[in-house]
Chains A and B, each alone.
Chain A
């Protein structure tokens, strides 16, 4: 069964078994504007919840992407290195950033589900 959660920093995390896929939300990509560069973590890196995991650079600014859950990075989306625009075009599917092996699945409970996140974003505008 897969679980989709969101952080207050506008990352999403989709979990299948003990593997979590992380990216940034539709709202985040629309606020950043055209994304021109993505710096991804190294495979094998241990990240704790809230750590800086990646950097996205848009025509407006460079921003950090924080990992919403703790674990070890198992795979990164190398396609983003040549085609950062995928984050704008398909933030939730083709524009994923990295996958990690969850070390503490309980952390997911502290994150928002899709409807709670939508309400949260609504409140920001």
Chain B
């Protein structure tokens, strides 16, 4: 980037942006409200005595501020976003169009059920698709996202054991699991026991068997796993776990790889969350909100959280909202209202516009794209595990040995090259891991460009161009951030403010 200095720090038409609280002037406002007729003293001693520090801004100032910020953002709408295990796929505009239909967009969750029959039907139809796709008999629609879905699933497992009068205290989690899996189990009061991985990146079956006993409440496993590999022994593990009286929670983060090809219900899964914001193309990462419905097996279905929708005949739908009657075993409520309705609309639009055959092709193309990247990079990078992968390609930092360049440096250099970095240093079982998930929505040209950039960076690293990597990123509004200092001495306020009174 040119070292040229400008008076205000703006660069070309890319302006240096202040925080919104550092802008504006006292008393300025974008709206003109009529004078209040309320008695100002009605709050008495409870009235506010201090300033609350809201900035005084005109409408154009606010519009420009957020438009400029949006230009600094990088999103799936800007370009390739190969963040592994995140399924950053294109969000079709058709989804947005349908979510903005007045009959759906203007709904309020407190409307009487008789006035929202169409919305309840939509939830019920989406639930039907989710149950059909996964081969599971029940689904809880309310969880807000993946980790919330995990909480939902493990609470149902705990409720099922409690109902059976059992006290089991451990949950088995493979070493390569998403960090949220052990966190969820611990949050529900379970002791987490790690299942070791084999050198093929799979769960060690004999180690798993040795860990099974009557204290095991369940297992949490991702399939395909975080190494991008399908666990071939999954059904056997599920059977062994059930034999020992445990329940099988499957982390559905990687459902995109098996959509329409494998039904989790056939693999012995008892509960699994589905990230609508990954697999079913609703906005993800900053744009959310997420949505994480949880499908349940027959054994866990009675313990699912309220609310759920029941169809009481042609076109007549009812919400079950309380823990009694037909929901008397439910473990309760996880969320106010009924779930992320806006995401339900988008996910169903995606499903219905693809159809069953289209969804199956989603998985096929996602796996094909990942293997295309793997095949075109494995001669210069070091593939973590032999063979083909599922929806994501995993590399170790072995190929960087002796270059002085690290996985982090590669990630930073990718930013200068115009690509959002892949997932780095995860899964933990792989040294200096680089996890690349292209998804099915990228074109051949986009993949070829990424491959060319990666090959170029590897060449530069191997040619001894260490400094270029340590200096990266050089072309961004800010240079490399000091992540260590940010973690050790975080500064969480932009200025010292007096506490509000």
Contact = CB atoms under 8 A, between A and B. Distances in A.
B488 interface: yes
Contacts of A37: 487-488
A37 B179 CA distance: 17
B488 A36 contact: yes
B425 interface: yes
A94 interface: no
A84 interface: yes
A59 interface: yes
B77 interface: no
Contacts of A62: 179
A85 B425 contact: no
B434 to A, nearest CB: 13
Nearest to B194: A64
Interface residues of A, number: 10
A85 B428 contact: no
Contacts, number: 20
A contacts with B: majority SS? loop
Interface string A62-81: 10000000000000000000
B483 A59 contact: yes
A61 interface: yes
B199 to A, nearest CB: 14
A59 B487 CA distance: 8
B200 to A, nearest CB: 19
B30 to A, nearest CB: 41
B484 A61 contact: no
Interface in B167-197: 179
A60 interface: yes
Contacts of B488: 34, 36-37, 84-85
B478 to A, nearest CB: 17
Nearest to A64: B194
A59 B484 contact: yes
A61 B428 contact: yes
A36 B485 CA distance: 8
Contacts of A61: 425-426, 428
B328 to A, nearest CB: 39
A55 to B, nearest CB: 12
B425 A34 contact: no
Contacts of B487: 34, 36-37, 57, 59
Interface in A11-58: 34, 36-37, 57
A69 B431 CA distance: 28
A34 B484 contact: yes
A34 B406 CA distance: 14
A51 to B, nearest CB: 12
Nearest to B487: A36
Interface in B414-445: 425-426, 428
B484 A36 contact: yes
Interface in B468-490: 483-484, 487-488
Interface in B216-272: none
A52 to B, nearest CB: 10
Interface centre among A34, A62, A85 (most CB of B within 10 A): A34
A85 to B, nearest CB: 7
A84 B428 CA distance: 21
Contacts of B484: 34, 36, 59
A53 to B, nearest CB: 15
14 contacts: A34-B483, A34-B487, A36-B484, A36-B487, A36-B488, A37-B487, A57-B487, A59-B484, A59-B487, A60-B425, A61-B425, A61-B428, A62-B179, A84-B488
Given A34-B488, A60-B425, 11 more contacts: A34-B483, A34-B487, A36-B484, A36-B487, A37-B488, A59-B484, A59-B487, A61-B425, A61-B426, A84-B488, A85-B488
**For the complex of A and B, 9 pairs with smallest distance between CB atoms:** A36-B487, A34-B484, A60-B425, A36-B488, A59-B483, A61-B428, A59-B484, A59-B487, A61-B425
